[in-house]
Chains A and B, each alone.
Chain A
Amino acid sequence: MDFLAQALPDNFWRHQNGSSTLWLWTFIGLVVGIALIFGLMNMPSQMRRPVVVGVTFLSGLFYVLLYFWPAPVARDPGTLPTDLVDKVGFWIEDAVPSVAQFSNILTAFLLGLGIYSVLRIHSRKLIKQQQDWAFSAVLLVCMVLMVIFGYWNWANRISPTGPLLDLQSNWKFQNYAADLLFDGLFQQMNGAMFSIIAFYILSAAYRAFRVRSIEATILLAAALIMMLSLMGSVASFWDGAAGHVSENLTLTSISTWLRDNLQTSSLRSIDFGIGIGALAMGLRLWLSLEKTGAGS
């Protein structure tokens, strides 16, 4: 069944690549979209919530239908629907990749919000020369450099000579620059940022991890057994010594038993609790019953 499928004759929704009809309809679509924004901006305020609630409900309805509507069984390519239930089921199943594509594109546009926010704050600092504006200038310069060399490198790699760049001997200045910025600087700083927490974990464990209550004692004992079981040399020594007495007294057996029977069950319960909450929250968000949701 055709649903935004490929290599088919023109119709209202699709036109040949590069054709003037395609560009015309794309432009019309853009104008309609902008007109929609202006229309929404001038809408009476009492209509706002119904619009948001309606959009949220319709979006969620797709996946609810995907789950509850009878799905096509043993469907081969070329199979045609036999009745209305089949037709709707086929349509829903065929729409899944397009809905996923839609959500990926929309999420990508929304991820730009974070980028825009950073740009806004630091541009303002630079233009108004507020405190530490020099750092903002450094940020913006690094951003511009990454954008320039990132795109330049990408453009080289998708060109017909792109596969040659698999060999570093074929690299040009822009490829070196992109590699230095991404792998030489960005990735290493990414690693450094995340590793700083190790120092604070040690400091916090030293200062705050005190055996003051039964709960703290149990937590410390469980953490200790887990850490000892992660140390292969300790586990080997302990297993060797205790193994002569009983297999059940080895560190491996103890930690495995704790993991399979106490750790798994307690974490599973926490998971159940979170899951029930997520299910309830999902329903409330879909029906816009949640005050802090999109429809508030």
Chain B
Amino acid sequence: MDYGQIKLTAGVISTIGLYSVLYRENKFYRLFEHIFLGLAVGWGIVALWTETLKSSWWDAMVGSSPDPGAAAASAQPGYWAWILLLPIGLMGYFVFNKKHNWLSRIPIGIILGLWSGQQVQVWFRRYGPNISASMKPLLPTTTSSFGKPDLTGLTPAQVANINAQVYPSQALTNLIFVFTIVSVLSYFFFSFEVKNKVLKFFTTSGRWLLMIGFGAIFGSTVMMRFTLLIDRMYFIWIEWLKHGILHR
């Protein structure tokens, strides 16, 4: 057995070990669950240093000597103040201490503060275009036909003129679009009781239209989860058995 086959076989055994929970909870599953968790924690320790802290923190703090063969100016000075992040970060570990666990709120407060300070900017950047894209024309600008006519064989000027118009079918679609937005938003008015018949109609419609969004999310989620399963089956049957063991 060469290395490739050993690697694939190890992956298959561990996959089957985890899948055994589908039959029932068992020690075989628990063994692989703990192996998985151990490897995850171990990789976390490695990656946090090699992918983040070494370059962002340590090299920034101690600097670096010039690259071999490069100019002396390529040397980077060290900024000692970065060491202060170590005690601040370690304050987070006081969460396990009964007497001083309030200290952990300091680094958490810094992170939460940084996040919350960004919220004004992010709100407009995320929703501004969405709000303007939701302002659709509700009244038709022409009634020459119900729907947009076929553009085949028309001059560019005629095409531009047609594209600039809002036909009754498009106006109706826009009305449905805006109605959906307003009614779904109105469904989330929980701060007062809805007694008015018109409002009730909106909130009930909103609840029904919400289901369309949820149905789409469900369909997409199903596609994703089944794809992950198909990928695992491909790994077992094709990558391991067909290509790895049987060499077909």
Contact = CB atoms under 8 A, between A and B. Distances in A.
Interface residues of B, number: 126
Contacts of A36: 87
A272 B123 CA distance: 10
Interface stretch (B42-50, B137-145, B157-165): B42-50
Contacts of A271: 127, 130
Given A271-B130, A273-B185, A56 B77 contact: no
Contacts of A141: 38
A28 to B, nearest CB: 8
A108 to B, nearest CB: 5
Given A219-B215, A282-B116, A52 B102 contact: yes
B110 interface: yes
B243 interface: no
B83 A33 contact: yes
A107 B173 CA distance: 47
B56 A192 contact: no
Interface of B: 3, 6-8, 10-12, 14-15, 18-19, 21-22, 30-32, 34-50, 52-53, 56-57, 60-65, 73-93, 95-96, 100, 102-103, 105-121, 123, 126-127, 130-131, 134, 173, 176-178, 180-181, 184-185, 188, 206-223, 225-226, 228-229, 231-232, 235
11 contacts: A14-B79, A17-B75, A106-B110, A108-B52, A135-B31, A138-B38, A195-B231, A224-B215, A263-B216, A268-B134, A282-B119
Given A269-B181, A282-B115, A293-B112, A192 B18 contact: yes
B111 A110 contact: yes
Top 9 A-B pairs ranked by shortest CB distance? A222-B215, A146-B42, A109-B89, A59-B113, A226-B219, A142-B38, A282-B119, A33-B87, A60-B117
Given A14-B77, A17-B63, A222-B211, A67 B121 contact: yes
Contacts of B44: 111, 114-115
B73 to A, nearest CB: 5
A4 B79 contact: yes
A103 B73 contact: no
Contact of B42 (A62, A147, A215, A275): A147
B145 to A, nearest CB: 15
Contacts of B108: 110, 294
A146 B83 contact: no
Interface string A15-54: 1111000100110111011101100110000001001110
Contacts of B47: 150
Contacts of A33: 83-84, 86-88
Given A10-B77, A154-B50, A282-B116, A193 B36 contact: yes
Interface of A: 4, 6-8, 10, 13-18, 22, 25-26, 28-30, 32-34, 36-37, 40-41, 48, 51-53, 55-64, 66-67, 99, 101-120, 132, 135-136, 138-147, 150-151, 154, 176, 179-199, 201, 205, 214-216, 218-227, 230, 257-259, 261-273, 275, 278-279, 281-283, 285-286, 293-295
B173 A189 contact: no
A210 B112 CA distance: 42
Nearest to A109: B89
Per DSSP, chain B at the interface is helix
A191 B229 CA distance: 8
Interface centre among A18, A52, A104, A220 (most CB of B within 10 A): A52
Nearest to A34: B87
A64 B121 CA distance: 8
Given A101-B60, A180-B6, A230-B219, A135 B46 contact: no
Contacts of A198: 225-226, 228-229
Contacts of A221: 215
A191 B62 contact: no
Contact of A266 (B48, B65, B210, B228): B210
A269 B130 CA distance: 10
Contact of B86 (A109, A143, A295): A109
Nearest to B214: A219
B176 A262 contact: yes
Interface centre among B22, B64, B127 (most CB of A within 10 A): B127
A22 B87 contact: no
A181 B60 CA distance: 31
Contacts of B105: 52, 294-295
Interface centre among B86, B127, B185, B219 (most CB of A within 10 A): B219
A150 B42 contact: yes
